[in-house]
Amino acid sequence: MVEFTFLALLLMVPLVYFVITVGQIQGGSFAVVGAADQAAKVYVAQPDASTADAAAEQAVALALSDFGHQADRASMSTTCSPADCQAAGSTVTVTVHLSVPLPFIQFAEGLSATEVEASSTQLVGRYR
């Protein structure tokens, strides 16, 4: 009985931690996909570039917080083709990078399970 309990704890604790970590990574993947999609949609709906950047950053922070991730662990970049992001017919691509932390380890700032990223592209419409 003692051996069974010892081996069960020895094998089950790492297995449970692994499952929790994989779930955290999957949640981070879903979070960046949603954040990039919402940020791109919000960006193309704004009248000027400075407002669009601020609104996209706010959309990323909100989408990440919905999934339980901190916005300070993420970064957002925006690219436009052609260079004028607000011109009708331009494509705006928003890329969100997120460093997914290891579960239950809040004391180690530099440790992370992995980094995930997602991109979303939206077309600036002719009419707004």
Residues 86 and 58: beta-carbon distance below 8 Å = no
Q: What is the DSSP-derived secondary structure letter of residue 80?
A: E
- The C-alpha atoms of residue 52 and residue 14 are separated, in whole angstroms, by 44
pLDDT at position 87 is: 85
Mean pLDDT value of segment 33-52: 92
> With bands split at pLDDT 50, 70 and 90, how would you rate the model's confidence at 128?
low
Q: What is the DSSP-derived secondary structure letter of residue 122?
A: E
Query: With 70 as the cut, is the pLDDT of residue 22 above it?
Result: yes
| pTM as predicted | 0.83
In single-letter form, the type of residue at position 69 comes to: H
- The C-alpha atoms of residue 25 and residue 68 are separated, in whole angstroms, by 12
Q: Which H/E stretch holds residue 116?
A: strand 114-123
pLDDT at position 91 is: 92
pLDDT at position 102 is: 85
> With bands split at pLDDT 50, 70 and 90, how would you rate the model's confidence at 108?
low
Q: How many residues would you count in the chain?
A: 128
